[in-house]
Structure 1
Amino acid sequence: MTMDNYTQPFNPTLPQTAEQVPNKNSLSSYLPIRTKGNDFDFNAVIGLVLRGLLRKKVESYRYEEFVADCQSAFEEKLGEDEFWQVLKEMYFDNKGIFTVSPELLLFRAQKGEFVAGDSRIASMYSNLLQNMRVEEFDAKLNFIEREMLSTLRGKMKPDSSLQANEKPYLPYLSKAFREDLRFLASRPKYLLSEIESFLSFYGFAYTAQLSLALADWRSGQEPQAKPLYFIMDHERASNERTHIKNHGYKLFNESATRLFPMLTMLELLQPGIGEKNAIKIPLWEISKGIQESKSAHLKESLENFARAFRSQRNLETTLDESDSALDWLGNVMKLASAQFSVGERFNINKKYVSEVEKHLASHFIQSRGRSGRVLVLNQDYIILLTNLVVGEKDKLRFHELITAFEQRGIFVDKQTEQELIKFYERIGNVERMSDSGDAVYVRKTI
């Protein structure tokens, strides 16, 4: 079951005095980046994501024991020590076995193989997955590989520790992520070769779209994809291309300054704060809950909290007097940003944006001299995205492909559209049904 349609009443227990307001901003949901300690190992993250997807783990079973068990199985069936030496060299000495099936990567999600930073990054993907499950991967394996995988499966244990604990902030992106992962899961070898790029892309797309969506909480509506413009990494980025200049990297960088202030405030607003197994909800849903609430105390509670927060943080921000609970939530969010506009907190937020860019966005940002920084997609990401979007179909109209890119947070201008068609023609996966360009179809490459 996903939590896309999960609803809960907004009934928060908000601090009502300055003494009750925490004096530090803490963040534990919706984004895995902290102000420091963000290094992570993608191998461990991949292992943890697959562990959550399969609901299985391999614990207290060392890789060396697995190798020994495989040796016993083959010596019993084949009886030739020389043959085992060949297999050992092929599959085990350099861990080539990890390219056989995604299930082997569960070894990377064992205790001691990952650190807190890996867990936090993996939890971002677990929450996007919304408890989606894959029973096992149907890889086309030879007899030897089937035997090895069977040996491992005999040691797997059920595991439900990596469950979603947030309602998706961006339901449309969570849906696309699940669809795309389902497509990859049906092609285990392709998944193994592309999963790092796949997770890297979605980590950035989610972060960028979240930063753009945060400001639109007041409507109480689910966010939709917002324009954020990319170019291919070989293209020129002249200043005449206004979308690239104003709605690309510059827009992302400016929007990212909202992430830490608004998400740390969202922590304090959570209705189930302190409750075991409470599901975190997005700010737009809190707004919806306020608009639908019959509680007469909400306005008073939010007003007291706003005044207490302003006092605790020594802020001089002017609050808008109102009889509306929603307006007082507006005051609360105004204070969230105001506390980071001066002094040491200003520098903390600047560092936070820099950490976000370094750990989640670096593959998608390039410096282009006088044009400054731009958002880019290299050819490998374009091929991967194209294959995911075309999916099980034989081909897709080019304009449908572009629409599907937009649903994943990728927008391009007309110039980049032409570059994309040229690129598809070069690699031979495009079909023109007419010279006008209206009927251009794109096929997948796998």
Structure 2
Amino acid sequence: MEYTLDFDRIKGFVTDKNDKYSFERRKYVRVLPLPSRTTGDRAEYKDGFSTVSAALLRLIEGESLEFTQQADFYEDIIDAGEFDTEETKAIFKEFLQVELGQADRNHVNTIQNIKYIAQPEAIAERKGQTQIIEFFYDVFIRHQHEEIKDIVSCLQSKGLMQDILNVQVKKSRVTLRPKYRVLFKAYSDTFKKDLMALVKSPGFFIENIDELFIHYTFIAMTQIILQTNKFSQFDEINLHTVPFMLNTEKASTWRIGYKEGFQRLKEQVESFYTHEHILNILALNTFTSDENLYYHDYAEILEKAGKDATNSYIASIYKWVNTVYCRYLSLEPKAQYEGQDLDTAYRYMFEMVRKGVPKEHFSRFPLMYTIFITRFYRKNGGSLGTILALNLKQLLLFTAVSVGTKSRIELNELWQELEKRGIALDDDTKMNVVVMLDKLNYIDKKSDSGDAQYVKSIL
């Protein structure tokens, strides 16, 4: 078998009808749910995350992602029932309008109320949120759908009223085509574990499910960015943590939350559109038709195929960059193939392709990611800019799921559990967390010296 890029197929992918080069993506590999246009499909979450949570909960129950309360919404539900008098029908319609007309984040006390939060009316917001919903569903739910459904089902109310209220939602059910790949099993396992803990306290679940979905969305996107930037050294097992502070702390330049937090993530995502384009090019090769493969996947395939296959593949990368891409973009090749390894070839390809990517992609593409961060994790650091920070609600949620259904855990175990959820805290923040939890009576001290401290259950 020949191990090379397929130049003919790549040409069909990257050139338009006028034979001009086009920086396409998402056809063979779907990496991040981020738009690259100025308008049209960018979510800003000005009203929070509840509409995303509602859609995800509907999907978990096998219902429709899309849901709006249009003019015929109540009529369709009423038409599905039978009434002895017009007066009874009118009373029931009034009940529905009161019960479901208040379905927003300020009037929910059951999972059913959340599920009936309608999608945003603004088209751009709805499209942007739909991309996030599809991403989350594929990464955390699809491969363990039945398990997740069984966990959440205990929160569903049972009986005739439940059946009546579900008529409109279930009627418009659609099947989502898989788009994104599960890359980090550890996160999907921890997400499932967190859901299992939260359902033990329905009120806490209802109050905090938005924050849980927000965090796993953020940490999955962030991990993909950090790992993909490592090219063939992408690691699906040893995951990065992200440093957070508490939003009540004072930021300083020496704090790890400043050095390795928002500014680092902003830099890591700046040129990421280049990866999205390159990975789709690499998918067009002569030896596999699999989609959603990353740099490290090809490294594994080639390692099994042998040295000759690897060298042939690397040579084809240099040939395509130097004789095809550079010609289209009027660039001068910077290196020739002289036995370089695979990772060096990837980095050369990235360097050259990045030179041709339109500047607007580098400004538009990262924007939704940074909007997401600043909307849900931002602390204003003054002259230091945006600082990644947790508020009290987020801290209590992650503490609660870290302790889980146990009566208590050791304090050191709390830090380990937070790291499993992508959260790293420096020593100053850890001290502040202990002080805050102690004030709320969630710290159990075995002695006045502070030895053998425990974190008590919040659920």
TM-score between the two structures when normalised by the length of structure 1: 0.80
31, 46, 50: which one pairs with 2:53? Answer: 46
Shift of 1:418: 0.3
Report whether the alignment pairs 1:174 with 2:188: yes
Q: How does 1:323-342 map to 2 (within 5 A)?
A: 323=339, 327-328=341-342, 330-341=344-355
Deviation string 1:310-355 (CA, Å, 9 cap, x unpaired) is 423333352363446xx2453234322443357x734531332233
C-alpha contact (below 8 Å) 2:271/2:354 kept by paired residues: no
Shift of 1:305: 3.7
Report whether the alignment pairs 1:94 with 2:102: yes
Q: 1:12 to 1:248 in 2, by over 3 A?
A: same
117, 133, 143: which one pairs with 1:122? Answer: 133
C-alpha contact (below 8 Å) 1:230/1:376 kept by paired residues: yes
Q: Which residue in 2 is equivalent to 1:131?
A: 143
Q: Which residue in 2 is equivalent to 1:214?
A: 228
What one-letter code is carried by the residue in structure 2 that aligns with 1:49? Answer: L
SS at match of 1:131: helix
Counterpart Cα distance in 2 of 1:415 and 1:112: 42
Deviation string 1:167-209 (CA, Å, 9 cap, x unpaired) is 3233322332233234445555443332322222222222222
SS at match of 1:57: coil
Q: How does 1:47-446 map to 2 (within 5 A)?
A: 47-57=54-64, 63-65=73-75, 68=78, 87-88=95-96, 90-95=98-103, 99-102=109-112, 105=115, 108=118, 115-129=126-140, 130-133=142-145, 134-135=149-150, 137-139=153-155, 141=157, 146-153=159-166, 156=170, 161-162=175-176, 164-185=178-199, 187-219=201-233, 221-241=235-255, 243-270=256-283, 279-294=291-306, 296-309=308-321, 310-311=325-326, 312-319=328-335, 321-323=337-339, 327-328=341-342, 330-341=344-355, 345-446=358-459
What one-letter code is carried by the residue in structure 2 that aligns with 1:404? Answer: E
Shift of 1:66: 5.7
Counterpart Cα distance in 2 of 1:248 and 1:313: 35
Q: Which residue in 2 is equivalent to 1:14?
A: 6
Deviation string 1:358-401 (CA, Å, 9 cap, x unpaired) is 13543223331233332111111111111222222222222111
What one-letter code is carried by the residue in structure 1 that aligns with 2:364? Answer: K
Q: 1:319 to 1:180 in 2, by over 3 A?
A: farther
Shift of 1:147: 3.1
Count of paired positions: 426
Counterpart Cα distance in 1 of 2:252 and 2:121: 50
TM-score between the two structures when normalised by the length of structure 2: 0.78
Q: Which residue in 1 is equivalent to 2:33?
A: 32
Please say which of residues 192-201 and 374-383 is displaced more in the overlay.
192-201
What one-letter code is carried by the residue in structure 1 that aligns with 2:263? Answer: K
Deviation string 1:417-445 (CA, Å, 9 cap, x unpaired) is 00000110122212112334342221232
C-alpha contact (below 8 Å) 2:5/2:316 kept by paired residues: no
Shift of 1:211: 2.0
Q: 1:256 to 1:94 in 2, by over 3 A?
A: same
| Unpaired segments ≥5 residues, structure 1 | 1-8
Q: How well do the aligned residues superpose, as a CA RMSD in angstroms?
A: 4.0
Please say which of residues 248-257 and 299-308 is displaced more in the overlay.
299-308
Counterpart Cα distance in 2 of 1:247 and 1:53: 35
What one-letter code is carried by the residue in structure 1 that aligns with 2:42? Answer: D
Please say which of residues 231-240 and 183-192 is displaced more in the overlay.
183-192
| Unpaired segments ≥5 residues, structure 2 | 15-20
C-alpha contact (below 8 Å) 2:4/2:312 kept by paired residues: no
Counterpart Cα distance in 2 of 1:158 and 1:390: 39
C-alpha contact (below 8 Å) 2:64/2:173 kept by paired residues: yes
C-alpha contact (below 8 Å) 2:3/2:312 kept by paired residues: no
Q: 1:295 to 1:174 in 2, by over 3 A?
A: farther
Shift of 1:149: 1.0
Counterpart Cα distance in 2 of 1:111 and 1:93: 15
